[in-house]
Protein backbone atom coordinates (compact mmCIF):
# COMPACT_ATOMS: atom_id res chain seq x y z
CA UNK A 1 0.00 0.00 0.00
CA UNK A 2 1.50 3.29 -1.11
CA UNK A 3 2.73 5.29 1.85
CA UNK A 4 1.39 2.86 4.44
CA UNK A 5 3.60 0.55 6.45
CA UNK A 6 1.80 -2.51 7.78
CA UNK A 7 3.11 -3.63 11.17
CA UNK A 8 2.91 -7.33 11.88
CA UNK A 9 3.88 -9.19 15.00
CA UNK A 10 5.21 -6.99 17.81
CA UNK A 11 2.82 -6.25 20.65
CA UNK A 12 0.47 -3.37 19.93
CA UNK A 13 1.95 -2.42 16.58
CA UNK A 14 -0.03 -5.12 14.80
CA UNK A 15 -3.18 -3.17 15.62
CA UNK A 16 -2.12 -0.15 13.56
CA UNK A 17 -1.31 1.16 10.14
CA UNK A 18 1.64 3.55 10.09
CA UNK A 19 1.37 6.53 7.71
CA UNK A 20 4.16 8.52 6.14
CA UNK A 21 3.76 12.29 6.05
CA UNK A 22 3.05 12.39 2.31
CA UNK A 23 0.45 9.65 2.46
CA UNK A 24 -1.31 11.11 5.51
CA UNK A 25 -1.23 14.62 4.05
CA UNK A 26 -2.94 13.39 0.89
CA UNK A 27 -5.99 12.49 2.99
CA UNK A 28 -6.84 16.12 3.71
CA UNK A 29 -8.54 16.33 0.32
CA UNK A 30 -10.02 19.73 -0.48
CA UNK A 31 -10.37 20.94 3.08
CA UNK A 32 -10.80 24.69 2.70
CA UNK A 33 -9.42 26.02 5.98
CA UNK A 34 -7.07 28.91 6.56
CA UNK A 35 -5.30 29.59 9.84
CA UNK A 36 -3.84 33.09 10.26
CA UNK A 37 -0.50 33.31 12.07
CA UNK A 38 -2.09 34.92 15.14
CA UNK A 39 -4.45 31.94 15.55
CA UNK A 40 -1.61 29.47 15.15
CA UNK A 41 0.51 31.28 17.75
CA UNK A 42 -2.42 31.43 20.17
CA UNK A 43 -2.87 27.65 20.26
CA UNK A 44 0.79 26.66 20.59
CA UNK A 45 1.96 26.22 24.17
CA UNK A 46 5.36 27.44 25.37
CA UNK A 47 8.12 25.37 23.75
CA UNK A 48 5.94 23.44 21.30
CA UNK A 49 7.09 24.09 17.72
CA UNK A 50 4.21 23.31 15.36
CA UNK A 51 4.50 24.96 11.95
CA UNK A 52 1.71 25.81 9.51
CA UNK A 53 2.86 23.19 6.94
CA UNK A 54 2.92 20.57 9.72
CA UNK A 55 -0.59 21.56 10.78
CA UNK A 56 -1.80 21.30 7.21
CA UNK A 57 -0.12 17.95 6.59
CA UNK A 58 -1.03 16.25 9.87
CA UNK A 59 -3.88 18.04 11.60
CA UNK A 60 -6.04 18.85 8.56
CA UNK A 61 -6.46 15.13 7.73
CA UNK A 62 -7.02 14.38 11.41
CA UNK A 63 -9.75 17.03 11.59
CA UNK A 64 -11.34 15.48 8.49
CA UNK A 65 -11.22 12.01 10.05
CA UNK A 66 -12.77 13.32 13.26
CA UNK A 67 -15.49 15.14 11.32
CA UNK A 68 -16.38 11.90 9.51
CA UNK A 69 -16.48 10.05 12.81
CA UNK A 70 -18.60 12.75 14.49
CA UNK A 71 -21.21 12.75 11.70
CA UNK A 72 -21.37 8.93 11.63
CA UNK A 73 -21.58 8.78 15.41
CA UNK A 74 -24.50 11.22 15.50
CA UNK A 75 -26.30 9.41 12.68
CA UNK A 76 -25.86 6.05 14.39
CA UNK A 77 -27.11 7.45 17.69
CA UNK A 78 -30.22 8.95 16.11
CA UNK A 79 -30.90 5.83 14.04
CA UNK A 80 -30.49 3.50 17.01
CA UNK A 81 -32.80 5.56 19.20
CA UNK A 82 -35.38 5.69 16.45
CA UNK A 83 -35.15 1.92 16.03
CA UNK A 84 -35.76 1.20 19.70
CA UNK A 85 -38.33 3.98 20.13
CA UNK A 86 -36.37 6.41 22.30
CA UNK A 87 -36.28 10.17 22.05
CA UNK A 88 -32.94 11.55 20.88
CA UNK A 89 -31.25 13.98 23.26
CA UNK A 90 -28.16 16.01 22.54
CA UNK A 91 -25.00 14.28 23.74
CA UNK A 92 -21.44 15.38 22.97
CA UNK A 93 -18.91 13.52 20.89
CA UNK A 94 -15.95 13.05 23.23
CA UNK A 95 -12.38 13.20 21.93
CA UNK A 96 -9.65 12.07 24.32
CA UNK A 97 -6.15 13.55 24.04
CA UNK A 98 -3.52 11.87 26.19
CA UNK A 99 0.20 11.35 26.64
CA UNK A 100 2.97 12.46 28.98
CA UNK A 101 3.49 15.79 30.68
CA UNK A 102 5.20 18.22 28.25
CA UNK A 103 4.42 16.20 25.10
CA UNK A 104 2.01 18.76 23.63
CA UNK A 105 -1.49 17.69 24.70
CA UNK A 106 -2.75 21.23 25.31
CA UNK A 107 -1.51 22.44 21.92
CA UNK A 108 -3.12 19.48 20.15
CA UNK A 109 -6.41 20.00 22.00
CA UNK A 110 -6.61 23.72 21.20
CA UNK A 111 -5.67 23.10 17.59
CA UNK A 112 -8.33 20.41 17.16
CA UNK A 113 -10.92 22.71 18.70
CA UNK A 114 -9.91 25.50 16.31
CA UNK A 115 -10.09 23.27 13.23
CA UNK A 116 -13.38 21.62 14.20
CA UNK A 117 -14.92 25.05 14.83
CA UNK A 118 -13.79 26.10 11.36
CA UNK A 119 -15.68 23.10 9.96
CA UNK A 120 -18.65 23.45 12.34
CA UNK A 121 -18.93 27.13 13.37
CA UNK A 122 -22.32 26.47 14.96
CA UNK A 123 -20.94 23.90 17.41
CA UNK A 124 -20.24 24.37 21.11
CA UNK A 125 -16.83 22.81 21.69
CA UNK A 126 -15.21 22.62 25.11
CA UNK A 127 -11.79 21.52 26.27
CA UNK A 128 -11.77 19.96 29.72
CA UNK A 129 -8.55 18.97 31.46
CA UNK A 130 -8.59 16.09 33.90
CA UNK A 131 -6.46 18.36 36.11
CA UNK A 132 -9.81 19.87 37.14
CA UNK A 133 -10.59 16.55 38.83
CA UNK A 134 -7.39 16.30 40.85
CA UNK A 135 -7.79 16.00 44.59
CA UNK A 136 -7.03 19.30 46.28
CA UNK A 137 -3.63 19.74 47.90
CA UNK A 138 -4.99 19.39 51.43
CA UNK A 139 -6.48 16.01 50.60
CA UNK A 140 -3.33 14.91 48.79
CA UNK A 141 -1.26 15.93 51.82
CA UNK A 142 -3.58 14.03 54.16
CA UNK A 143 -3.19 10.95 51.98
CA UNK A 144 0.61 11.52 51.77
CA UNK A 145 0.55 11.61 47.96
CA UNK A 146 1.11 15.29 47.12
CA UNK A 147 4.38 14.27 45.45
CA UNK A 148 2.39 11.87 43.26
CA UNK A 149 0.12 14.49 41.74
CA UNK A 150 -0.75 13.28 38.24
CA UNK A 151 -0.60 9.61 39.21
CA UNK A 152 -3.94 7.76 38.93
CA UNK A 153 -4.56 7.78 42.68
CA UNK A 154 -4.35 11.61 42.81
CA UNK A 155 -7.65 12.11 40.97
CA UNK A 156 -11.25 12.27 42.16
CA UNK A 157 -11.96 9.56 39.63
CA UNK A 158 -15.58 9.04 40.68
CA UNK A 159 -16.29 12.74 40.11
CA UNK A 160 -14.69 12.58 36.66
CA UNK A 161 -16.73 9.52 35.71
CA UNK A 162 -19.92 11.13 37.05
CA UNK A 163 -19.20 14.18 34.89
CA UNK A 164 -18.72 12.05 31.76
CA UNK A 165 -21.78 9.96 32.60
CA UNK A 166 -23.88 13.12 32.85
CA UNK A 167 -22.46 14.37 29.55
CA UNK A 168 -23.37 11.14 27.78
CA UNK A 169 -26.80 11.09 29.48
CA UNK A 170 -27.75 14.40 27.87
CA UNK A 171 -27.35 16.67 30.91
CA UNK A 172 -26.80 20.01 29.20
CA UNK A 173 -25.37 22.35 31.83
CA UNK A 174 -22.74 21.15 34.28
CA UNK A 175 -20.27 22.93 36.54
CA UNK A 176 -16.89 21.37 37.24
CA UNK A 177 -13.98 22.42 39.48
CA UNK A 178 -11.11 24.53 38.15
CA UNK A 179 -7.45 23.69 38.62
CA UNK A 180 -4.83 26.46 38.61
CA UNK A 181 -1.35 25.57 37.37
CA UNK A 182 -0.17 28.85 38.87
CA UNK A 183 -1.41 27.97 42.35
CA UNK A 184 -0.89 24.23 41.80
CA UNK A 185 -4.28 23.48 43.36
CA UNK A 186 -8.03 23.35 42.89
CA UNK A 187 -9.21 26.95 43.21
CA UNK A 188 -12.84 26.83 44.29
CA UNK A 189 -13.94 28.40 41.00
CA UNK A 190 -16.06 26.47 38.50
CA UNK A 191 -16.02 25.94 34.74
CA UNK A 192 -19.45 25.82 33.11
CA UNK A 193 -20.00 23.24 30.39
CA UNK A 194 -23.15 24.25 28.51
CA UNK A 195 -24.75 21.91 25.96
CA UNK A 196 -21.57 20.83 24.16
CA UNK A 197 -21.56 19.26 20.71
CA UNK A 198 -17.95 18.17 21.13
CA UNK A 199 -15.96 17.71 24.33
CA UNK A 200 -12.18 17.39 24.15
CA UNK A 201 -10.96 15.63 27.28
CA UNK A 202 -7.25 16.16 27.84
CA UNK A 203 -5.30 14.27 30.49
CA UNK A 204 -2.54 11.89 31.50
CA UNK A 205 -4.37 8.70 32.40
CA UNK A 206 -7.66 8.78 30.51
CA UNK A 207 -7.05 5.44 28.79
CA UNK A 208 -6.06 3.57 31.92
CA UNK A 209 -8.15 0.54 32.87
CA UNK A 210 -6.14 -1.01 35.68
CA UNK A 211 -6.06 0.10 39.27
CA UNK A 212 -8.07 3.07 40.44
CA UNK A 213 -11.44 2.53 38.76
CA UNK A 214 -14.74 3.24 40.50
CA UNK A 215 -18.34 2.68 39.53
CA UNK A 216 -17.98 -1.11 39.41
CA UNK A 217 -15.23 -1.06 36.81
CA UNK A 218 -16.61 1.73 34.65
CA UNK A 219 -13.62 3.59 33.22
CA UNK A 220 -13.01 7.04 31.78
CA UNK A 221 -12.16 5.44 28.44
CA UNK A 222 -15.68 3.95 28.23
CA UNK A 223 -17.01 7.44 27.46
CA UNK A 224 -14.42 8.43 24.84
CA UNK A 225 -15.52 8.20 21.21
CA UNK A 226 -12.09 8.79 19.67
CA UNK A 227 -8.75 8.77 21.49
CA UNK A 228 -5.43 10.32 20.46
CA UNK A 229 -2.12 9.48 22.11
CA UNK A 230 0.86 11.82 21.71
CA UNK A 231 4.23 10.21 22.24
CA UNK A 232 7.96 10.58 21.78
CA UNK A 233 11.07 8.94 23.17
CA UNK A 234 11.35 9.59 26.90
CA UNK A 235 14.66 11.42 26.57
CA UNK A 236 12.97 13.92 24.24
CA UNK A 237 10.01 14.45 26.58
CA UNK A 238 12.35 14.95 29.54
CA UNK A 239 14.27 17.59 27.58
CA UNK A 240 11.01 19.37 26.67
CA UNK A 241 10.00 19.28 30.34
CA UNK A 242 13.30 20.92 31.30
CA UNK A 243 12.94 23.56 28.55
CA UNK A 244 9.43 24.36 29.74
CA UNK A 245 10.66 24.64 33.34
CA UNK A 246 13.26 27.20 32.24
CA UNK A 247 10.64 29.21 30.35
CA UNK A 248 8.30 29.21 33.34
CA UNK A 249 11.12 30.50 35.55
CA UNK A 250 11.10 33.70 33.51
CA UNK A 251 7.31 33.97 33.43
CA UNK A 252 4.77 32.23 35.68
CA UNK A 253 7.20 31.34 38.48
CA UNK A 254 7.83 35.05 39.07
CA UNK A 255 4.17 35.68 39.89
CA UNK A 256 3.69 36.40 43.59
CA UNK A 257 0.84 33.85 43.72
CA UNK A 258 2.83 31.09 42.05
CA UNK A 259 3.26 27.87 44.01
CA UNK A 260 6.65 27.54 42.32
CA UNK A 261 7.98 31.04 42.99
CA UNK A 262 10.75 29.44 45.09
CA UNK A 263 12.32 28.32 41.79
CA UNK A 264 12.28 31.75 40.13
CA UNK A 265 15.68 32.77 41.49
CA UNK A 266 17.61 29.66 40.47
CA UNK A 267 20.53 30.05 38.13
CA UNK A 268 20.29 28.11 34.88
CA UNK A 269 22.51 25.22 35.97
CA UNK A 270 20.58 24.69 39.21
CA UNK A 271 17.27 25.04 37.36
CA UNK A 272 18.22 22.33 34.87
CA UNK A 273 19.31 20.06 37.73
CA UNK A 274 16.06 20.71 39.64
CA UNK A 275 13.85 20.08 36.62
CA UNK A 276 15.78 16.91 35.79
CA UNK A 277 15.33 15.63 39.34
CA UNK A 278 11.59 16.38 39.26
CA UNK A 279 11.28 14.42 36.04
CA UNK A 280 13.30 11.48 37.36
CA UNK A 281 11.46 11.28 40.70
CA UNK A 282 7.89 12.06 39.58
CA UNK A 283 6.93 12.56 35.93
CA UNK A 284 9.27 9.98 34.45
CA UNK A 285 8.03 7.34 36.86
CA UNK A 286 4.40 8.14 36.08
CA UNK A 287 5.17 8.01 32.36
CA UNK A 288 6.79 4.58 32.53
CA UNK A 289 4.51 3.04 35.14
CA UNK A 290 1.14 4.32 33.93
CA UNK A 291 0.98 6.53 30.85
CA UNK A 292 3.03 4.70 28.20
CA UNK A 293 1.19 1.48 28.99
CA UNK A 294 -2.03 2.99 27.61
CA UNK A 295 -0.51 3.95 24.25
CA UNK A 296 -1.89 1.00 22.31
CA UNK A 297 -5.42 1.58 23.55
CA UNK A 298 -5.64 4.78 21.49
CA UNK A 299 -7.45 5.06 18.17
CA UNK A 300 -4.65 7.20 16.76
CA UNK A 301 -1.04 7.73 17.83
CA UNK A 302 1.02 10.80 16.98
CA UNK A 303 4.76 10.12 17.20
CA UNK A 304 6.98 13.17 17.65
CA UNK A 305 10.67 13.66 17.04
CA UNK A 306 13.39 15.45 18.98
CA UNK A 307 12.36 18.93 17.82
CA UNK A 308 8.65 18.42 18.62
CA UNK A 309 8.09 17.66 14.93
CA UNK A 310 5.60 14.95 14.03
CA UNK A 311 7.34 11.96 12.45
CA UNK A 312 4.57 9.42 12.08
CA UNK A 313 0.82 8.83 12.38
CA UNK A 314 -0.44 5.43 13.47
CA UNK A 315 -4.12 4.66 13.03
CA UNK A 316 -5.88 1.69 14.57
CA UNK A 317 -7.20 -0.79 12.05
CA UNK A 318 -10.99 -0.81 11.79
pLDDT band with cut points at 50, 70 and 90 for residue 216: low
- At 151-192, the pLDDT tens digits run 999 999 999 999 999 999 999 899 999 999 999 999 999 999
Residue 28: the pLDDT is 83
DSSP secondary structure letters along the chain: -TTEEE--SSTTGGGEEEE-HHHHHGGGTT------HHHHHHHS-TT----HHHIIIIIHHHHHHHHHHHHHHHHHHHHHHHHHT-------EEEEEEE-TTSSHHHHHHHHHHHHHHH-TT--EEEEEGGGGBPPHHHHHHTT-GGGBTBGGGB-HHHHHHHHHHHHTT--EEEEEEEETTTTEEEEEEEEEES-SEEEEEESSTT--SSS-BTTTB-GGGG-SEEEEEE--HHHHHHHHHHHHHHHHTTGGGSTT-TTGGGTT--HHHHHHHHHHHIIIIIHHHIIIIIGGGGGGSSEEEEE-TTS-EEEEEEE--
Q: Hey, what domains does the chain have and what are their CATH numbers?
A: 4-233+299-316 (3.40.50.300)
Residue 211: the pLDDT is 54
- At 285-315, the pLDDT tens digits run 999 999 999 999 999 999 999 999 999 999 9
Residue 217: the pLDDT is 79
- At 117-142, the pLDDT tens digits run 999 999 999 999 999 999 999 999 99
pLDDT band with cut points at 50, 70 and 90 for residue 8: very low
Mean per-residue pLDDT for 90-116? Answer: 96
Residue 101: the pLDDT is 96
Q: Quote the percentage of the chain above a pLDDT of 90.
A: 78
Mean pLDDT, the chain, whole residue set: 91
- At 9-59, the pLDDT tens digits run 455 678 899 999 999 999 987 777 788 778 888 888 777 878 888 999 999
Q: Which of 31-35, 64-68, 91-95 has the lowest mean pLDDT?
A: 31-35
Mean per-residue pLDDT for 218-239? Answer: 96
Instruction: Inform me whether the pLDDT recorded for 231 exceeds 60.
Output: yes
pLDDT band with cut points at 50, 70 and 90 for residue 6: very low
Amino acid sequence: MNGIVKHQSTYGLGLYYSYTRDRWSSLKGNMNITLPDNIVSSVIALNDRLTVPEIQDYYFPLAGLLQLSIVNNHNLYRGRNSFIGLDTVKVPYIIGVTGSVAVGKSTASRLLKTLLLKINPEYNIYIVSTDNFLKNNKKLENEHILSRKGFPESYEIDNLINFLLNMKSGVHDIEIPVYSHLKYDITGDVQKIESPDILILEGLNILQINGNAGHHDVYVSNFIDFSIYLDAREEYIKQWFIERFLMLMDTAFKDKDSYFKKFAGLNKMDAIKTASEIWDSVNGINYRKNIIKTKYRADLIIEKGMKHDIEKIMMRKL
